[in-house]
Each structure stands twice: as C-alpha cells, then as structure tokens.
Amino acid sequence: MRGIDAAGVYLPHYRLERDEIEGAWGRSPHASLAVPAADEDALTMGVAAAESLFEGRDIERDSVDLVCFASTTPPVEEGMCAPRLGRALDLKRGVETAEHTQSTLAGAEALAHALDADGSALVVVADCPAGDPSDGWGAGAAAFLVTDDAAVGVSDRTWHADEYPGVRFRERGATAVDSLDITTDERAVVRESIANAVAGLDADGFDIAALHQPDGRMPGRVVRGLPGAPETEVGTVVNHVGDAGAATLPIGLARALAHARSDDSTLAGFFGGGGAGAAFAFEGSVPVSGLDDGDFPTGESISYASALRKRGVVTDEAVAGGGAQVSLPSWRRSLDQRYRLRAGRCPDCSTLVFPPEGACADCGSREAFEPVDLPRTGTVEAKTVVGQGGAPPEFAPLQRRGGPYGVAIVGFEADGHAALPAQLTDCDPESVAVGDEVRAVIRRIYVQEGVVRYGAKFVPR
C-alpha cells in the first residue's frame, strides 16, 4: 500500500516557556513556543526536517522523483522554494517539484500530491507564522518519504469543501493571522469541516488521531463529534510547539505514527481557513527522526525579550553601507560548496582543497579537482566572537536579532584534511571552544539585492 515509509521532524533550538509569556502579559498562555533563530525560516527548517529523515537511513537521494514543499510562510511572496530545497538536500536535478501554500491545508495538499504520484516522493511541510509571541505563534517542520509498499499505508482519504469567509486568514503583506473573532462559529466551522471529511472515510474507527490544532483545546472539541472516539494526546503537539501554521498537524501526525503500533489505525484531520477539511486514514507505525523515543528534544529556554528580537518584532532592519557584493551568478556557482561542503581533491597529489578553485595549494597543479563532499561534522580549530557593531553591513540585520555571533575555522577529515571559515549558530558563541565538534546546518546567511542567500553554518554537537 502506498504511504509513508520514513519521517523526520525539526523544531528550532530555542523555546519560550509559558511562565515567560505570563510574566510579560499577566495571563496564562496555552502553550510553550518553539522560537526560530534569527537565521531560520520555513525553508531552512524544511531542509533540517528532511536531513533528519535521511540521516541514518539507507535512502538514495537520487531515488526521489518528486519533492513537495508546503508552507503558509515561504521566504518570498513570489518565487519557488522547492528547487532550493532540492539543491540543499542534494537531490537529482531532474526531480519534479511542487509547492503548496495559502492555508493550513497546504500540508494535506502536498501529501495528497505525493500519494497520487509515481515513484518516491518527499513531502516537506514547514512554517513559522510571524507576530508577537503572546499570540501563540510557534515554528517547526515535518518531512515524509512517500513510497509504494510503505511501512505506513494510507488506506483512504477524503475532502470537504465549502465557503467559510473570515475563518483564519492573513491579508497580503500582513504578518499575523486574523479571524472575525466569532469564536463559537469558528469552532463549529472547524468541527463541521473535519467531521464531514472523516464521515466519508471507509473506516470503522481509529486508535490515534492528529487533528487541526490552533490551540490545545480544539482537538478535543473536534474528536467528540467523530466516530470511534480516537485518542488525541500523542497527536496534539501545539502545547509544546505553538501554532506552527500548516506544520503543526504534520508534526503531530509524525509523533502519532511514532507512537502507533504496527496494527494501529491513525486519523489525520486537516482544516484550511476559507474553508475546507481533509481526512487521511493511516495503518501502521514508523520511526521518526528528530524525536527522542517519540518525544521532542528539550531545547534552550530564552527570555520574552530575546524571543521578540529573534522574531524581528523589536528591531530596525535598516543597514548603512553596501557590504560585500557577491553577484548572484557567483553565488550560484558556489552552491555545492555552501550547501554540501563540496571540496576538491587534487588528481596529482591527492590534497583536499576548499574551495575547489584555482591551483592546488600543495603542488600547484591546475588540473580539474575531483569533487569530494566533506563530512557534515567537523572540529573547531580557531574561533572568534563578533560583537555588536563589529559585523559587516550584510550581517548586521541578523546580528541585531540574534546578538553577537561566533565565527570559526572548522576542520574536516576525509582521507585528508580540509578547513573552512563559517558562522556558528544556535549557541552562546563564548561557550564554544577549540577542539569542540560541530555539525553543519543550512541557515540564512544574509539578504542581498532582495534575495536571501542560504548556506552552511555550524551548531555544537
């Protein structure tokens, strides 16, 4: 049966706990929040979830025939993210791409697209709605590998569509999600949309459910109107993640499938403001990378003020000076180096060279280098910290949001030695020492000519 054969989850390293929000606003919030770093967005989180899926599994990246990216907060209003995702993951250039956005139903649409396709498909759902943390906006990503003869089969799926104006919408150019605040009506709309979709499924009942969850109360309200009264606890993750838009339910689905037994049936009930519902019936269980025995990693707690800075709520983005001017064609030529740490081996003396350009640093040969991907982990050989006011102009906006940042020389062993300079992220840069092991992640580097430049940074292991 076609379905999900592997899954991965990514949550940002930083967390804003309930007591921090309560201290700032004097009211008890519904959730602790996952807070993306200043250099994270939906694309980088999607890459991280997919890398988690591939890590430690015998999956040929060239075997992926389709990549579907879903988000309500893509980094650009017009422009494709899936090709960037494919390049960062080192998928084949001939991979088919598809993008789904516009509503929290985007994840369901991407999953349905993958199920209807032939061959192996990668579904990535990532989101980070912007706004004040007091509104409960979280962040995260989930990735699923869809294949034939999968560990988790999709036995049925159905849809419900009707017009529900004013229920969960975001005007173009706005950062926060709005509604008409007719809460009783909104709850009824969500329940009706999901219940009507579930009623069309060819299923007797479910053991576990993951349901639309703008807050922790909604799944319980929805499930009361469904046949079979499935368990909702393991599929409800909003109290730990926050409202991560289109990604919340896929993250909850991944956790539900990790907790399910091989003979369990799992329901996923999606809702998209505007409005429509979708229901998927799953059979089976699958391990999920990025979870610790089915639970989320702890992360680092931060203050409310720090969360505001990282989300860009209290920062001025204006930058004086032009900074480094790296043309887009030059940047594109270096993508394999920036994404995959692609070095070169001299064909004459076997020396590793990074970047793989010009003459061999050891023997001076100008023969074409043989491409070598360095390991994703390396060792800090030297380090410094760039304080406020010390960053080049192109890095200043991220520094204002993320604070002082570390820059390290990272060394790698790959039948030879190579080293490269890179920024550190997701850490107190003062705590990183020479000799520490670090791991590559894909993050925002800077914005130039209105285009986000992405590449590898490093986090402590």
In the structure encoding, which two tokens stand for residue 105, read together? 């139903």
Residue ranges in the chain modelled with pLDDT below 50: 320-321
- Supply the pLDDT for residue 233: 82
**Same domain, yes or no, for 229 and 299?**
yes
**Same domain, yes or no, for 163 and 287?**
yes
The residue range of the domain holding 159 is 3-310
- Supply the pLDDT for residue 4: 98
Neighbours of 416 (CB within 10 A): 16
**Same domain, yes or no, for 300 and 417?**
no
Integer Cα distance of 436 and 424 in angstroms: 12
- Supply the pLDDT for residue 182: 57
- Supply the pLDDT for residue 396: 87
> How many structural domains comprise the chain?
2
The domain boundary residue, chosen from 280, 310, 340 = 310
323 backbone φψ class: left, alpha, beta (φ>0; ψ -120 to 50): left
- Supply the pLDDT for residue 302: 95
pLDDT digits (tens, 9 = 90+) for 432-459: 999 999 999 999 999 888 899 999 999 9
The torsion angles phi and psi of 282, rounded to 5 degrees, stand at -110, 150
Helices and strands, counts by H and E, the chain: 12, 21
In the structure encoding, which two tokens stand for residue 256, read together? 């539900």
- Supply the pLDDT for residue 253: 98
Identify the CATH number of the domain in which residue 250 sits.
3.40.47.10
The domain boundary residue, chosen from 283, 310, 337 = 310
User: Residue 341 domain-assigned?
Assistant: yes
Count of residues in the chain: 461
- Supply the pLDDT for residue 292: 84
In the structure encoding, which two tokens stand for residue 457, read together? 């940074």
- Supply the pLDDT for residue 318: 52
**Same domain, yes or no, for 374 and 341?**
yes
**Same domain, yes or no, for 343 and 281?**
no
**Same domain, yes or no, for 392 and 246?**
no
